[in-house]
Amino acid sequence: MGILSLLFSKKSKQDNSMAAVPLQPTDSWPFFIKAPLILLGLSLLVFIMIVLRDVLVPVCFASLIAILLNPVVNRLMKWRIPKAVSILLAVLLAAVLFAGVMFFIISQLSQFSEFLPQLKQTGTQMLEKLQAWVDTTFNYPKAKQAAALQKAQGDVQPMLTGMVVSVFGGLGVFVLLPIYIFLILYYKPLFLNFFYEVFEDKYGGKVAEILGETKMAIQKYVSGLLIETVVVAVLNTSALLIIGVRYALLLGVIGALLNLIPYIGGLVAISLPVIISLVDNPGDLTIPLLVAGSYLLIQFIDNNLLVPRIVSSKVDVNAFMSIIVILMGGAMWGVSGMFLSIPLIAICKIIFDRIDGLKPWGKILGVKMEAYPPVNVVSEIDAEAVNKTEKEPAVSQ
């Protein structure tokens, strides 16, 4: 109705003059008009994000790193170092740290390559035993098992090839990433002024609040992830060294890096040392069970102590929405999307919480439930449980 009123006018019966019908606010539009428009807008947004993934992913990573390096640049500028030189020094510092981590992983992987023949031999023997057990127990012949395995391998191989191609294709991004970071930090005032000038003056306070909270949330989130990664790496390595698993340092660091992918990376991290311990101790399940138990304990400590105090307290997104967003990010942008999904949804929540029409979306993303919810919506039992939680004093973290 509101859009058609711009194209057509209404003729008055009194003076035969054309009077334009005022544009109606979107709140008065019926649901069957608003819902398709919202779905169309979301579909276009997702389509654009998928098509431009090769451009948007490095820009998003560069923006996160630039926000993280911003305090370093400000500190260097306070020491009377020119702006361009301060930014260059901060980028070089980040590059050196990243190169050090990569050098360590590559050096450890070169030692791990000596273990691959034994891994292949033991894995083949274990597979043969498993096939014989399946044949005896379920009367499923080895020939059919081999055919099923070959078919599964044919289905998985294109996916693995695509992942390898995307990883090596993404290596070219590392050439542009420092340039992106430098330019984002250098032209930071230009970008901030853009956000202020896009909106009217009466919204200047909200824009400043959103930008400030977004910067602080991202800085604390990324720095919290780095601290969590170091602590988990130390715990993983210590546990594997005590148990006596080979390549404990490499597996501990890889497990901590995989843990950066919430919920999903931790499961993959457990499987690696369990496989190594099974190969080193064929027929003995004691060490694999100890490895699995220690990793589960570390995951419990991480999820209940480290994450609430270091990471989740900075980005208040509930677990259910986090998993959904991570899977959606992986579907659109692969592994990079899984990592970027939480910071991006945290930015969306900060914006949603400060716009009246979007506040319900901010609430559904958050962890805080309304005090005294209506019983005709959540039932009396749920309402009493929420009210009891709200009345109890908060536990200091």
Q: Please give the average per-residue pLDDT across 248-253, as a whole number.
A: 86
Would you tell me how many other CB atoms lie within 10 Å of the CB of residue 255?
Answer: 28
* Residue 361 domain-assigned (yes or no): yes
Cα–Cα distance for residue pair 326/195, rounded to 1 Å = 28
User: Could you list the residue range(s) of the whole structural domain that residue 81 is in?
Assistant: 52-115+133-186
Shared-domain flag, residues 174 and 293:
no
Closest CA relative to residue 362, chosen from 341, 347, 342, 343: 347
8 pLDDT band (50/70/90 cuts)? very low
* 228 assigned to some structural domain: yes
pLDDT at 25 over 60: no
Given a cut of 60, whether residue 157 has pLDDT beyond it is no
Name the most confidently modeled range: 23-37, 229-243, 322-336: 229-243
User: 222-235: per-residue pLDDT in tens?
Assistant: 788 888 888 889 99
More confident position, 95 or 128? 95
Q: How many domains does the chain have?
A: 3
Q: How far apart are CA 25 and CA 282, in angstroms?
A: 70
For residues 66 and 174, membership in a common domain is answered with yes
pTM across the whole model: 0.67
Is the distance from CB of 59 to CB of 66 less than 8 angstroms?
A: no
Q: What is the pLDDT of residue 390?
A: 52
For residue 177, being part of any structural domain is answered with yes
**C-beta of residue 209 within 8 angstroms of C-beta of residue 350:** no
Q: For residues 274-285, give the mean pLDDT.
A: 77
Is 176 found in the same domain as 240? no
